[in-house]
């Protein structure tokens, strides 16, 4: 449901809060002051964020505005399968606790800014680093576009027509990101998370009161959902005992967990921390966001009980808020969603700019580029990335962004063998990893094409056995099998490996500080900090 007239009160509250975070975005350039003409400062905040800032930054990075909209919409449409987002965000944090401090330590020691920097250094392969960078860019672009969808939906819900508000919001975002770099979303994420926590806590208390309690909400959902089509394409697919539904749920959770911290923007948040212990602390307290996510998912059941008839799946939450919230709190809630879109969009554009600058521009176009030139190119690249995402949304139907985002997880998971494998061992061969990556990318993409991008769950028949799982898992398994098999073959044939510029001791537990002097581009910032 799109409002037919502008809600003045809601719009006024929305504009005031949006203006407040805009000012914060520009002021952030003076926060924890550093030389923003150096990529390490602009793109990683000087690697000086402590536990609190990193918690808000990673929370804003991982739990995006589209999550706010998409998870309840999925629960509204198919029921329990939509809750796969809860176990996957729990599964991932023990992995983060173990692996990400290792990545931070090596990246800090060698001045790595992107995961592709690490892959190139670990395996001595510019080609493998390039494929990692391009995969990250490919997976990130539609993700940025989806944040725009979140803003567009709430703007339409307030009765504002046309694309000019969306364009204005992203012009402002582009301006303060260009000026302040990662400091802007880091500072704004504190406000964003506060707004979202307040909105959700009010929603899960106030709306059930209006609907007669959670008993009636669950009864309504229980009556409606068995007649809806599940992710396996069959009515009643969510009835207990359906093995296909169980397979879809489990593999969606597992695949999403493995892919989450392979996204460049999430790794950017990790590398901006000031130490390994900061990452460990956050791995233990970030599950608090999972509790919030569970509450957000319940909005889908509330929408069923409320009889919401959305014009599109993305409108479920805004329509629910319009129906039950007073105008002033409606504006507050919509501002929370919009600001919740700006934070991850900013981090994603910065991460994409870092990838392009370090692993494409400096590696292949201008190897002699100075640190100042590198930083300037990253700033310009971040503008291009945002502009491309905006053009994508304005020129093409929304469904294409959603379709491509389904592929994003499939694609980015194919970088896991090189990144995580490199953090644990040097055994895998660079050319085997390239072949495995190619096999996984091709398989996952072809599965999505075969389903006409309508689902990320694929039914594969092998020797008379039907297996239903997330496309990314099928592709990932093939990737690993090819990588391992060809490593054995290449070693047998004595195919030369690349030089590893890292040392085993750099992965060991030795406190938070790098074990040697950082590269020149980091030295001025660290001296000031």
Q: What is the 3-state secondary structure (H, E, C) of 119-135?
A: HHHHHCCHHHHHHHHHH
Residue 29 phi/psi, 5° resolution? Answer: -60, -25
Enclosing H/E stretch for 23? helix 8-27
The dihedral over CA atoms of 424, 429, 432, 437, expressed in degrees to the nearest 10, equals 40
| pTM of structure | 0.88
Give one DSSP letter per residue of 108-122, joined into a string. HHHT--SHHHHHHHH
Does 526 map to a domain? no
Does 40 map to a domain? yes
**Under 8 Å between Cβ of 92 and 283:** no
Which of 121, 80, 354 minimizes the C-alpha distance to 224?
A: 80
Does 75 map to a domain? yes
Instruction: Tally the domains of the chain.
Output: 1
**Under 8 Å between Cβ of 227 and 210:** no
Domain residues for 243? 9-510
Q: How far apart are CA 470 and CA 256, in angstroms?
A: 9
Where residue 238 sits, what CATH number does that domain have?
Answer: 1.20.1730.10
- Per-residue pLDDT of the chain (529 residues), as tens digits, is 545 567 788 889 999 999 999 999 999 988 877 788 888 899 999 898 999 999 999 888 888 777 788 888 888 988 887 888 888 888 889 989 999 999 999 999 999 999 999 999 999 999 999 999 999 998 988 888 888 888 888 888 888 887 788 888 888 888 989 989 999 999 999 998 899 989 999 999 999 999 999 999 999 988 888 776 654 445 444 444 556 778 888 888 899 889 988 999 999 999 999 999 999 999 998 888 888 888 999 999 999 999 998 887 778 999 999 999 999 999 999 999 888 888 898 999 999 999 999 999 999 999 998 889 999 999 999 999 888 888 877 776 666 656 667 788 899 999 999 999 999 999 999 999 999 999 999 999 999 888 887 778 888 888 778 888 889 999 999 999 999 999 999 999 999 999 999 988 888 766 555 444 444 444 333 333 3
Does 279 map to a domain? yes
pLDDT of residue 510: 61
Q: How far apart are CA 187 and CA 52, in angstroms?
A: 11
Q: How many helices and strands (H and E) does the chain possess?
A: 22, 2
Which of 190, 193, 182 minimizes the C-alpha distance to 349?
A: 182
Does 125 map to a domain? yes
Burial class from Cβ neighbours inside 10 Å (0-12, 13-18, 19+) for residue 517 reads: exposed
Q: How far apart are CA 87 and CA 354, in angstroms?
A: 31
Does 285 map to a domain? yes
- Site of tokens 């805009």: 22
Does 91 map to a domain? yes
Does 169 map to a domain? yes
Share in percent of the chain as helix, strand, coil (round to 5): 75, 5, 20
List beta partners, residue 465. Answer: 462
């Amino acid at each position: 449901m799109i409002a037919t007239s502008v809600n003045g009160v809601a719009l006024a509250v929305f504009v005031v809060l949006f203006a407040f975070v805009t000012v914060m975005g520009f002021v952030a350039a003076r926060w924890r002051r550093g030389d923003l003409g150096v990529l390490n400062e602009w793109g990683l905040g000087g690697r000086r964020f402590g536990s609190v800032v990193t918690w808000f930054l990673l929370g804003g990075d991982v739990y995006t505005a589209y999550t706010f909209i998409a998870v309840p919409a999925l629960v509204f449409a198919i029921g329990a399968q939509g809750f796969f987002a809860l176990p996957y965000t729990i599964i991932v944090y023990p992995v983060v606790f173990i692996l990400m401090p290792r990545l931070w330590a090596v990246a800090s020691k060698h001045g790595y800014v992107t995961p592709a920097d690490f892959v190139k250094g670990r395996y001595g392969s510019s080609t493998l680093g390039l494929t990692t960078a391009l995969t990250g860019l490919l997976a990130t672009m539609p993700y940025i576009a989806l944040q725009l969808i979140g803003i567009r939906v709430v703007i339409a819900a307030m009765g504002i027509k046309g694309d000019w508000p969306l364009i204005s919001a992203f012009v402002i975002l582009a301006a303060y990101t260009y000026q302040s770099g990662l400091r802007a979303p880091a500072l704004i994420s504190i406000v964003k998370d506060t707004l979202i926590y307040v909105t959700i806590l009010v929603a899960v208390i106030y709306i059930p009161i209006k609907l007669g309690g959670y008993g009636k909400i669950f009864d309504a959902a229980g009556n409606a959902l068995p007649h809806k089509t599940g992710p396996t394409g069959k009515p009643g697919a969510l009835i207990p005992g359906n093995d296909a539904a169980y397979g879809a749920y489990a593999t969606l959770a597992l695949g999403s967990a493995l892919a989450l911290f392979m996204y460049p923007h999430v790794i950017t948040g990790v590398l901006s921390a000031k130490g390994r212990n900061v990452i460990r602390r956050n791995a233990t307290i970030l599950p608090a966001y999972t509790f919030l996510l569970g509450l957000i998912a319940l909005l889908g059941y509330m929408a069923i009980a409320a009889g919401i008839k959305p014009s599109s799946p993305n409108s479920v939450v805004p329509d629910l808020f319009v129906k039950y919230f007073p105008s002033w709190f409606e504006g507050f809630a919509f501002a929370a969603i919009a600001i919740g879109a700006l934070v991850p969009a900013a981090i994603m554009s910065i991460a994409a700019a870092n990838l392009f600058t370090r692993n494409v521009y400096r590696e292949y176009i201008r190897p002699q580029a100075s640190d100042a030139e590198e930083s300037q190119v990253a700033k310009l690249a971040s503008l291009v990335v945002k502009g491309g995402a905006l053009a994508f949304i304005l020129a093409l139907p929304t469904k294409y962004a959603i379709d491509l985002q389904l592929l994003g997880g499939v694609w980015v998971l194919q970088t896991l063998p090189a990144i995580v494998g490199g953090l644990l061992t040097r055994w895998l061969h660079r050319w085997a990893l390239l072949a495995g990556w190619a096999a996984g990318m091709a398989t996952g993409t072809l599965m999505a094409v075969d389903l006409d991008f309508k689902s990320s769950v694929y039914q594969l028949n092998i020797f008379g056995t039907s297996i239903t799982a997330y496309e990314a898992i099928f592709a990932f398994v093939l990737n690993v099998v090819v990588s391992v098999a060809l490593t054995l073959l290449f070693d047998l044939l004595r195919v030369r490996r690349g030089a590893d510029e890292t040392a085993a001791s750099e992965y060991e537990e030795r406190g938070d500080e790098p074990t040697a002097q950082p590269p020149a581009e980091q030295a001025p910032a660290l001296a000031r900090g």
